[in-house]
């Protein structure tokens, strides 16, 4: 047994990556990390400039379009509502008057949105850069098993962003924008509040969609077990339903639209956890 363990350790050492036939020093790693940050930031800045120069499209067709009644999601919900005989889902023009209360507010918002768009579009490259930084420290088998990491990370992130933008954000704006405590109170939403809501919800869901990757990693190192995920499925459903009730109008249909994709994401996390758990058993 001792000889077998020693043999496995030696085999793993042979698989360990070597750069220039010697170990990289601490300062070498810092230099590599610095280059990773510089290239990532430079890419974000370039794409942010592109977004800045396309102000009309970014704001009129993306950021502000989501609150209009002819937005694709609102038209789709109206169509579904007509099929089932419920006109409640037909979103009319939301009484959402957006105002700017700071003299530099619109310019700073333009800068902020340009940076956010630059970050979102540069996300795959940023993931690739950090993957390239970590890759030399991995063993051969770990490199092979995580070869599609950049694609998976990017796919999940963009799936979350699109899911949020086309479903959660319109439902959220429709609910809060049309909610009144009294007819005597009219909604006048500051530009900062509107932008913050759209961006925060969109990016948050994008990051939440990275959950399967996190679960896979934790299962690989033995922190999370598949059985515990299965046992907690009903509690997860309750949490998702509560979150859906918070960000959507108070009707069952809207909550179901949000809940089903999130539960599918959870089930996908369980499948990845099984794979990670098997990998952990094999490595042990």
Strands 97-99 and 188-190: parallel
Instruction: Tell me the domain boundaries of the chain.
Output: 25-209, 210-284
The span from the CA of 90 to the CA of 63, in Å, is 21
pTM of the model: 0.77
Residue 96 or 281, more confident:
96
Predicted confidence (pLDDT) per residue in 39-54, tens digit: 999 999 999 999 999 9
The span from the CA of 264 to the CA of 210, in Å, is 13
Worst-scoring range by mean pLDDT, 85-94, 151-160, 174-183? 85-94
Predicted confidence (pLDDT) per residue in 117-166, tens digit: 999 999 999 988 888 887 777 667 666 666 677 888 899 999 999 999 99
- Residue 146: helix, strand or coil by DSSP? coil
The span from the CA of 151 to the CA of 142, in Å, is 16
Q: Reply yes or no on whether the pLDDT at 100 is more than 70.
A: yes
Residues 6 or more apart in contact with residue 82 via CB below 8 angstroms: 90
86 near 169, Cβ under 8 Å?
no
What's the DSSP call for residue 88? G
Please tell me the predicted confidence (pLDDT) of residue 1.
41
What is the end-to-end Cα distance of the chain in Å, rounded? 13
Residue 85 phi, psi dihedral angles, 5° rounding: 75, 30
């Amino acid at each position: 047994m001792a000889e077998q363990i020693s043999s496995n350790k030696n085999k793993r050492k042979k698989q360990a990556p070597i750069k220039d036939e010697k170990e990289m020093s601490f300062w070498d790693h810092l230099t590599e990390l610095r280059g990773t940050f510089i290239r990532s930031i430079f890419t974000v800045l370039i794409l942010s400039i592109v977004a800045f120069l396309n102000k009309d499209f970014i704001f009129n067709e993306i950021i502000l379009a989501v609150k209009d009644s002819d937005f694709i999601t609102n038209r789709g919900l109206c169509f579904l509502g007509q099929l089932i005989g419920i006109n409640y889902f037909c979103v009319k023009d939301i009484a959402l008057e957006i105002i700017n209360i700071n003299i530099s507010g619109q310019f700073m918002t333009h800068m902020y949105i340009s940076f956010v768009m630059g970050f979102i579009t540069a996300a795959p490259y940023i993931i690739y850069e950090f993957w390239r930084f970590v890759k030399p420290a991995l063993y051969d088998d770990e490199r092979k098993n995580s070869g599609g990491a950049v694609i998976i990370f990017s796919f999940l992130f963009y799936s979350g962003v699109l899911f949020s933008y086309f479903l959660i954000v319109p439902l959220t704006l429709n609910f809060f924008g049309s909610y009144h405590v009294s007819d005597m109170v009219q909604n006048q939403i500051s530009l900062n509040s509107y932008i913050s809501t759209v961006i925060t919800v969109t990016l948050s869901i994008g990051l939440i969609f990275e959950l399967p990757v996190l679960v896979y990693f934790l299962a690989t190192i033995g922190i999370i077990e598949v059985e515990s995920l299965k046992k907690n499925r009903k509690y997860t459903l309750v949490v998702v339903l509560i979150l859906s009730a918070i960000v959507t109008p108070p009707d069952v249909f809207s909550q179901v639209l949000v809940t089903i994709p999130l539960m599918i994401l959870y089930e996908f996390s369980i499948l990845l956890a099984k794979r990670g758990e098997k990998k952990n058993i094999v490595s042990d």
